[in-house]
């Protein structure tokens, strides 16, 4: 069966510090990968998605970047965090190809920028 892991689960970072959130998917090959963010009291916002190694699409301009160094690994990064980067970050995956496929989410990472 397929599983998705993301870490760390929680972190508190000072403004201006770097960020790295990692996500890996197991039990499948060539998945579509996603990073979503949910700010406090707000809806889920798609930040990045990837359909293959090295292929990253950004949905919104921001202080963050994403990379996919391996087929089942997706990394969310920032060089300098802002207070507005605080939120609940979710990695997700779906089966490559076709449309209307189900997206499966990880358990999320809580980021507080202080």
Partner 1 sequence: DAKTTQPNSMESNEEEPVHLPCNHSTISGTDYIHWYRQLPSQGPEYVIHGLTSNVNNRMASLAIAEDRKSSTLILHRATLRDAAVYYCILTNDYKLSFGAGTTVTVRA
For partner 1, the binding residues (CB under 8 A) are: 32, 34, 36, 43-46, 49, 51, 88, 90, 92, 94, 96, 98-108
Query: Judged by CB, which is closer to partner 1: 19, or 92?
Result: 92
Q: How far is the CB of 48 from partner 1 (least distance, A)?
A: 11
Query: Judged by CB, which is closer to partner 1: 14, or 102?
Result: 102
Query: Judged by CB, which is closer to partner 1: 15, or 59?
Result: 59
Instruction: Please state, in angstroms and rounded to a whole number, the distance separating the CA atoms of residues 37 and 91.
Output: 9
For residue 84, the SS3 value is helix
Query: Judged by CB, which is closer to partner 1: 3, or 16?
Result: 3
Q: How far is the CB of 110 from partner 1 (least distance, A)?
A: 8
Q: How far is the CB of 71 from partner 1 (least distance, A)?
A: 16
What letters, b where the CB count within 10 A reaches 16 and e where it falls short, cover 73-96?
ebbbebeebeeebbbbbbbbbbee
Instruction: Please state, in angstroms and rounded to a whole number, the distance separating the CA atoms of residues 70 and 53.
Output: 6
Q: How far is the CB of 13 from partner 1 (least distance, A)?
A: 19
Sheet of 65-70: strand order equals 3-7, 19-26, 73-78, 65-70
């Amino acid at each position: 069966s397929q599983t998705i892991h993301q870490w760390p689960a929680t972190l508190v970072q000072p403004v201006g510090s770097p960020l790295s959130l990692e996500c890996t998917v197991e039990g499948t090959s060539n998945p579509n990968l996603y990073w979503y963010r949910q700010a406090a009291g707000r809806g889920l916002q798609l930040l990045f998605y990837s359909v293959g190694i090295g292929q990253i699409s950004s949905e919104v301009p921001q202080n963050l970047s994403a990379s996919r160094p391996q087929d089942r690994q997706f990394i969310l990064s920032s060089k300098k965090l802002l207070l507005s980067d605080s939120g609940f970050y979710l990695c997700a995956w779906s089966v490559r190809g076709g449309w209307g496929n189900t997206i499966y989410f990880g358990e999320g990472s809580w980021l507080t920028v202080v």
